[in-house]
Homo-oligomer: A and B are copies of this chain.
């Protein structure tokens, strides 16, 4: 930068300004600086800048997995919103809240401008670190009641409740196959939503009609379906509240020659039509994942710009998409 300044015949400070806020520098100077930069092949050192300013233009995102295409689309939304803004994305995965704490620590050591979290349960230390950092923190995995800072999401509870109500009204006895809810508020919320809908409908909840699977591994939905029906043959519909379980289950039904929805109705969480149009057969909850990622980023950047009136909580709605399977 020293070279650039000398060649352009200005001070380093002017070069710095021309780079970061061109509008505060006269057009002529700006041009001379640009020429000098091209002449020496100068590459801005954002690390030095970060040290001087005690913060970088890095936005950290702690996600859970990219194996699920719809969670990947949250990340895609964040990427798209962040592109061409001068910010960069730092991405980490956390499979547990302890993991998350470590990733948050690692991120914080790079003095990021903001942090986005997909998980909604955090260790006490993680919350403390984030609050102490003073940077915008956006939670995106669920519409949490008491966000650390900001929340941009949808209600997993409402979604599961609405879908269960839809199924119960239409088919009667509804089973539930979800992700292991221990340690994860999102899956807990879905489970609670299911139970709430049964309660409203005056249907007794039965443990044997509810299954939780440890992972979204391939084929899990088919086995779960078989287990559940063996225990409760009078089940007329099953709500697969996670991953690609519903799609697995549908394949299983076809294999066994069970009519869908005649013998059994099937509904899923997350609509994969946007990923594979050919999968547009399953009744599902459609959640605007991509938009949530985008908006979360926009909200964080708006806050960094010092904009006023930024809502602490941004709720996205979901849709129940009735299709052939329910």
**Chain B nearest Cβ from A288, distance in angstroms:** 15
The answer to whether residues A56 and B66 also contact, given A88-B90, A93-B83, A244-B277 and a CB cut-off of 8 A, is no
**Chain B nearest Cβ from A18, distance in angstroms:** 15
In the bound complex, how far is the Cα of B91 from the Cα of A161, in angstroms? 36
Contact residues in B for A44 (Cβ distance below 8 Å): 109
**Chain B nearest Cβ from A107, distance in angstroms:** 7
Contact residues in B for A274 (Cβ distance below 8 Å): 218
In the bound complex, how far is the Cα of B76 from the Cα of A247, in angstroms? 22
Q: A110, B46: Cβ atoms under 8 Å?
A: yes
Q: A79, B91: Cβ atoms under 8 Å?
A: yes
**Chain B nearest Cβ from A22, distance in angstroms:** 17
Closest 9 CB pairs of A and B: A251-B278, A72-B72, A66-B76, A47-B50, A46-B109, A247-B278, A66-B72, A218-B277, A69-B69
**Chain B nearest Cβ from A197, distance in angstroms:** 26
**Could you list which residues of chain A lie within 8 angstroms of chain B, going by C-beta atoms?**
43-48, 50-51, 56, 58, 65-67, 69, 72-73, 75-76, 79-80, 83, 88-93, 105-111, 129, 218-219, 222, 244, 247-248, 250-251, 272-279
Q: Which of B43, B65, B75, B107 contacts A88 (CB 8 A)?
A: B107
Q: Closest residue of chain B to A272, judged by CB? A: B276
Q: Closest residue of chain B to A99, judged by CB? A: B83
In the bound complex, how far is the Cα of B108 from the Cα of A222, in angstroms? 47
Contact residues in B for A93 (Cβ distance below 8 Å): 76, 79-80, 83
The answer to whether residues A66 and B66 also contact, given A47-B111, A51-B48 and a CB cut-off of 8 A, is yes
Q: Identify the interface centre among A79, A244, A248, A276: most chain B CB within 10 Å of its CB.
A: A276
**Chain B nearest Cβ from A276, distance in angstroms:** 5
Q: B51, A47: Cβ atoms under 8 Å?
A: yes
Show 5 A/B contacts (Cβ-Cβ < 8 Å), sorted by A: A83-B93, A88-B92, A88-B107, A219-B277, A278-B279
In the bound complex, how far is the Cα of B76 from the Cα of A218, in angstroms? 16
In the bound complex, how far is the Cα of B58 from the Cα of A272, in angstroms? 33
Q: Which of B43, B75, B109 contacts A109 (CB 8 A)?
A: B43
Contact residues in B for A47 (Cβ distance below 8 Å): 47, 50-51, 56, 109-111
Contact residues in B for A276 (Cβ distance below 8 Å): 244, 247, 272, 276, 279
**Chain B nearest Cβ from A16, distance in angstroms:** 13
Contact residues in B for A279 (Cβ distance below 8 Å): 276, 278-279
Q: A43, B105: Cβ atoms under 8 Å?
A: yes
Q: B67, A76: Cβ atoms under 8 Å?
A: yes
Contact residues in B for A250 (Cβ distance below 8 Å): 278
In the bound complex, how far is the Cα of B42 from the Cα of A129, in angstroms? 11
In the bound complex, how far is the Cα of B83 from the Cα of A30, in angstroms? 42
Q: Which of B48, B65, B111, B275 contacts A67 (CB 8 A)?
A: B275
Q: Closest residue of chain B to A110, judged by CB? A: B46
Q: Closest residue of chain B to A218, judged by CB? A: B277
